[in-house]
Amino acid sequence: MMQYFHSVRLDQERCLGCTNCIKRCPTEAIRVREGKATIIEERCIDCGECIRICPNNAKTAYSDSLSFWRPDDYNIALPAPSFFGQFKPNITPEQVVSAFRAIGFDDVYEVARAADYLTCVMRLFLKENRGTTWISSSCPAIVRLIQVRFPELLPQLLPLETPMELAAQLAKQRARLQHHKQTIKAFFITPCPAKTTAVHQPEGNPTHVDGTLSISEVYTALMKALPQSNEGNRLRASRHGLRWALSGGEIMALGETNTLAVDGVHDVVSMLEELELGRLEGVDFIEAQACPGGCLGGPLTVTNHFVSHARLKALTQKLTKDRITDCSHVASMVRIPHSISPRPILPLDNDVTTAIRRMERLELLLDGLPGLDCGACGAPNCRALAEDIVRGLANETDCIIKLRERVKKLAEEMVDLSTKLPPAMGRGGVPND
């Protein structure tokens, strides 16, 4: 079985087995067994929904730390567009960029600037490839969601790299001109665990990003360094590139019609179900983001996404509204030459005949279950429990309703037995009146 890297981690000591997470996971990747949650690796898409919903902070996200890099290297920070929405209005983006250097980075390259270039490439691609409803590939959690739950839609994923990957390539390209003798490293400042997973286990092309740092960790370090920071260079990104942090930001940057923007992983699931059924005719492009409100709602951010949305919106008004029209020099950097493969979930059995029999048994079990989808059994719904039973991972009496029925039946049998005498005591086992 393929080994998967996951940024989302589970702290067993903090987990109380409350079952909140199993009800919210969009791929049914969590079970609660013996009072503790467990994550099914091949189902997890690292969307961070469980991090957001867990009342006990038992779900965490792994990212590289500020001590990860070596001071002898030439280290470049790649702040996500959402990063600039975390700060109060009295802290300018120029101060933030300067503070990156104060905490040890040698250079800063705005991912929003790469988004400007990528928008140009996307605009040309959509113009040349009409007739298909294309899905944005910028959110790695959505890419993995499609791999796991909607593999038929994989050919409709835009075959282009993310702004993060393009930013790493452009930043390193610029650095090599002046620092060709040094080892050059690029670190993405991430709002979510899915992008950490995309770096450590990339889909498509190999990654050019050397590590990720959570916004929450970097924010703390930058706030300490801000008093020592001077005003640096102005942001090079346009308002369109910075808007990629918002839900609908890609579409606003593209300036295209016949488009659809959806945020929040459960709403994205509903939309993809509609698309799979052929009910979204006339839509040329879909922007789908797993986090509510877009990347500003990522679980590794520090500011409420409604507040950061207002801050970022005000900031974009100060930036140029000119769009990049010449992107020929980056076109080859962002194309993914081959399609992304599905992520197989373990079949009921490797033998087709046995798998069919197990599926028939699964349906019979499902008919006998109450259909309440209460989660008390530790599975997210009755179908998931039936599947676990067929796989040998659970028992029918894990369902509290079925357990009560079994106990009631046993109690009735015990009462019936208690009214009978053995033959040696007379009356041959006839009930004792």
Alpha carbons 18 and 26: distance in angstroms, whole number:
17
- Does pLDDT of 399 surpass 60? yes
Residue 433 has pLDDT above 60, yes or no: no
pLDDT digits (tens, 9 = 90+) for 294-318: 999 999 999 999 999 999 999 999 8
Exposed / middle / buried, residue 55 (Cβ in 10 Å: 0-12, 13-18, 19+)? exposed
Mean pLDDT of 409-417: 87
* Cα distance between residue 6 and residue 29, in whole Å: 12
User: What is the pLDDT, as a whole number, of residue 229?
Assistant: 61
Distance (Å) of CA 399 to CA 23, 384, 389, 414:
16, 12, 11, 22
Q: According to the model, what pLDDT value does residue 340 have?
A: 86
**pLDDT tier at 325, thresholds 50, 70, 90:** confident
pLDDT greater than 70 at residue 341: yes
8-61: in CATH 3.30.70.20: yes
Cβ pair 422, 411 in contact under 8 A: no
The phi and psi torsions of 327 (rounded to 5 degrees) equal -130, 25
Q: What angle do CA 180, 183, 186 make, to 5 degrees?
A: 105
Q: Rounded to a whole number, what is the largest CA-CA distance in the chain?
A: 105
CA pseudo-torsion sign 32, 38, 41, 47: positive
The yes-or-no verdict on residue 421 having pLDDT over 80 is no
Residues 352, 52: Cα–Cα separation, whole Å: 39
- Judged against a pLDDT cut of 60, whether residue 431 lies above it is answered with no
Q: For CATH 3.40.50, list the domain ranges present in the chain.
A: 74-128+159-246+295-334
Name beta bridge partners: 259.
285
pLDDT of residue 230: 63
- In whole angstroms, what is the distance from residue 39 CA to residue 300 CA? 20
Q: For residue range 342-375, list pLDDT tens digits in order.
A: 987 777 777 888 889 999 999 999 999 999 999 9
pLDDT in tens, 197-244: 999 999 878 999 999 999 999 999 999 988 666 666 677 889 999 999
Mean pLDDT of the chain: 91
- Coil, helix or strand at residue 414: helix
Q: Where are the domain boundaries for CATH 1.10.15.40 in the chain?
A: 352-423
Run of H or E residues at 332: helix 331-334
Gyration radius from the chain CA atoms: 27
Rounded-to-integer distance, Cα 141 and Cα 288, Å: 10
Distance CA 129, CA 121 (A): 12
Q: What is the mean pLDDT of residues 305-334?
A: 89
Please report how many Cα atoms fall inside a 13 Å half-sphere around the Cα of residue 227, on the Cβ side.
2
pLDDT value, residue 336 = 85
Which residues 6+ apart lie within 8 Å of 173 measured at CB? none
Distance between CA atoms of 111 and 244, rounded to whole angstroms? Answer: 10
Chain-centre distance for alpha carbon 283? 24
Give the Å distances, CA to CA, from 305 to 57, 61, 83, 194, 309. Answer: 19, 19, 11, 18, 6
Q: How far apart are CA 258 and CA 238, in angstroms?
A: 24
pLDDT at 256: 81
pLDDT at 97 over 60: yes
Give 118-169 pLDDT, tens digit per residue: 999 999 999 999 999 999 999 999 999 999 999 999 999 999 999 999 999 9
Closest CA to 15 of 44, 55, 67: 55
pLDDT > 90 in the chain, percent: 71
Give start-end residues of each CATH 3.30.70.20 domain in the chain.
8-61
What does CATH list as the number for 74-128+159-246+295-334?
3.40.50
* Topology, domain 352-423: 3-methyladenine DNA Glycosylase II; Chain A, domain 3 (1.10.15)
The pTM of the full predicted model, rounded to 2 decimals, is 0.90
pLDDT 10s digits, 174-196? 999 888 778 999 999 999 999 99
Residue ranges of E strands in 64-132: 74-79, 107-108
pLDDT confidence of residue 429: 52
Which residue type, as a one-letter code, is found at position 28? E
Residue whose structure tokens are 């990339």: 202
Residue 244 in contact with residue 163, Cβ under 8 Å?
yes
% of residues, the chain, pLDDT over 70: 96
Say if residue 419's pLDDT is above 90. no
Please count the helices (runs of H) and the strands (runs of E) in the chain. 16, 11
| Integer Cα distance of 292 and 300 in angstroms | 13
pLDDT at 68 over 80: no
Q: Which helix (H) or strand (E) segment is 267 a member of?
A: helix 265-276
